[in-house]
Chain A
């Protein structure tokens, strides 16, 4: 045995390392949904470092800006931007909610819940394997972040939801462009219901619209329906970019999401858990 070990030590170690990682892969059932403790530990250990580096870079950038601009004007500008950010969110939520709720009381209840619970977050990391899958934000469990909280962009368009792992000051956001993300949506014009899925390449597709359905058109706006129990109803998602008929049961519909990846610096987290909204 020792001779065998001496002779094949490196291959045995390689085999052990591969087997450990294969076990890690196989225990992740259902596919990638539950983050295991090991993954969480690695994320918690290394994400603050990434957060720190990006914050440092942002800090340097701010000093640079502050030096060359009039300090007071800069502060005022930041305040106005912040105010505008929240006002835009509030305005969009108001518009969306008004369209989808029947009674004034229902509108007031939901808006009160949402508007009091918007948290401003910044993107501090992108997905290493595919940047259209997820991003990491600078808010974590210390800020009250929990799984399935909804993320919007500056203009109130749907970006995604919080998925694990969540560390003290960082959390991962699954983007709607991820091919494992599903959102229940409807077309604004004719209220045709479907499931929005990411294509993993920056776009989305609308599934389960029957080929015989005549109520779906190119350019139609899509909004969340709320039927998935995660995303509140009425949030703007995207618009239909192309419809093709493949001769199969369902139409092939390409969707262009409203949010733009390159503009994902500032995000809004709706701090109400989906279970508290319904």
Chain B
């Protein structure tokens, strides 16, 4: 927080190369301009899409393929994406999904497209398909490990057995007991993942578009571009982001067992 004091002073015109003294102009510009809110909503939409698909896939893998996940080699292979940095994942997605990428070439070879230009735009698109896919590939193994750990530590198999003995169908047991329990226990990690995706930088940098932009590239770009008049606004945006993260962290800590000894 002490570090953020400089950002606060900068955003209020009290420091910086072009500082002209106390003013709320930069904050007014940021709040009324709308860029930060569009970026915030865009980042949230991407994070929610990636999270929804990842959680569904991870729940499916951890609940339907429990036996496979007990096999050392299969588990190792499934969890390999945990060892891929974001910048490499973005590069890989680009090589797969770009108009000149592998999928486009396969589609050409199978006669589904006649040129690279005909291949649908899956990277650097405003729908952020490439960004969402990359986050999904990175998140599924993480959530699969997490759900499996919770499944074992919370003795969910015993709960399933009791539920079946009491006459529930498998679907009812999953819907009413197993899935809510796994999601509730994983809530802190799910919210952290949401913050992580919303603040991601390398992936939108390689796979995103210039408008709309996700939060980190938007703020970093304003902060480091040559136009110094943008810097106070960038610091104001940074503080809005910081306050949002603090609020979410407080929410997570109040609602989860992280504080419990």
Does A associate with B in a complex?
A: no
User: Contact residues of B with A, CB < 8 Å?
Assistant: none
